[in-house]
Amino acid sequence: MSDRKVSRVIVLSGGMDSAVALLWAKQQGHVAHAVSIDYGQRHRKEILFAGQLASLTDTPHTVVDMSSLKGLLPGSALTDDSVEVPKGHYADPTMKATVVPNRNMILLSVAVAAACAHDATHVVYGAHAGDHPIYPDCRPEFVEAMWHACSVCWYEPIELEAPFIDKTKAEVVALGEALGVQWKYTWSCYEGGDIHCGRCGTCVERIEAFEIAGVHDPTEYAL
């Protein structure tokens, strides 16, 4: 890979972590493409924010329609309308209801395919340490396994980067503030309403992270 020009494909959900990851990747060098996935998520509103983030940073952006997956992924509050989005802290055991089976492997596989097609050298996603208690596909062992898979899945190795895997959400926010992330163009709420509900796990995490980081939170909350 040393003779290849470094370029990156980023998994861009439209959330805070992916927004920071986008600007982090821009700081590292060329970003070839941003990829967002519609997998039938309740809060698909986030994809609109991903588009705004890509536009603001002049990043080529593709939304991949995989919404038919929704029927294969029952039992998650994000893909099953019969499951209520849990309220409370992001690390509470009840947040397991928001786990989408194998989601990050699916998203990363699409991004890696895009990297192969665009002759990109790296794929970036924004998993962070606060995800570890609940989400198996955000843990270091998952990243390591996927890193090995990416290195042998194509004629040239693709390197997987998860730059925040050991950072707290507040640390990610602090970094994003330093990089100039425009937070009003990010979406977190799993309810996917007109404004953030302020009560679901990811809203609570958002509020807490801004407070701990000492960064102004421009978000409008329903509560």
Residue 50's CATH number = 3.40.50.620
Q: Is the pLDDT of residue 2 over 70?
A: no
Per-residue pLDDT tens digits for 43-55: 999 999 999 999 9
Look-up: residue for tokens 């962070």? Answer: 128
pLDDT at 121: 96
The pTM score is: 0.95
Per-residue pLDDT tens digits for 127-172: 999 888 899 999 999 999 999 999 999 999 999 999 999 999 999 9
Asked whether residue 51 is assigned to any structural domain, the reply reads yes
Structure tokens at 99: 């786990």
Asked whether residue 72 is assigned to any structural domain, the reply reads yes
Asked whether residue 219 is assigned to any structural domain, the reply reads no
Decide if 157 contacts 151 (C-beta within 8 A): yes
Structure tokens at 93: 């055991």
Domain count, the chain: 1
pLDDT tier, 102 (very low <50, low <70, confident <90, very high otherwise): very high
Asked whether residue 167 is assigned to any structural domain, the reply reads yes
pLDDT tier, 223 (very low <50, low <70, confident <90, very high otherwise): confident
Per-residue pLDDT tens digits for 64-92: 999 999 999 999 999 999 999 999 988 88
Q: Is the pLDDT of residue 1 over 50?
A: no
pLDDT at 178: 98
Asked whether residue 223 is assigned to any structural domain, the reply reads no
How large is the average pLDDT for residues 9-27? 97
Per-residue pLDDT tens digits for 161-181: 999 999 999 999 999 999 999
Asked whether residue 108 is assigned to any structural domain, the reply reads yes
For the chain, give the percent of residues with pLDDT over 70.
99
Look-up: residue for tokens 């955000």? Answer: 138
Helix 16-28 × helix 46-56 angle, to 10°: 20
pLDDT at 69: 93
Q: How far apart are CA 117 and CA 180, in angstroms?
A: 30
Asked whether residue 50 is assigned to any structural domain, the reply reads yes
pLDDT tier, 207 (very low <50, low <70, confident <90, very high otherwise): very high
Q: Is the pLDDT of residue 222 over 90?
A: yes
DSSP label at 185? G
DSSP label at 214? T
Per-residue pLDDT tens digits for 28-38: 988 889 999 99
Q: Is the pLDDT of residue 18 over 80?
A: yes
Contacts of 63 (CB under 8 A, 6+ apart): 36, 37, 38, 47, 50, 51
Domain that includes residue 26, residue range: 7-213
Asked whether residue 28 is assigned to any structural domain, the reply reads yes
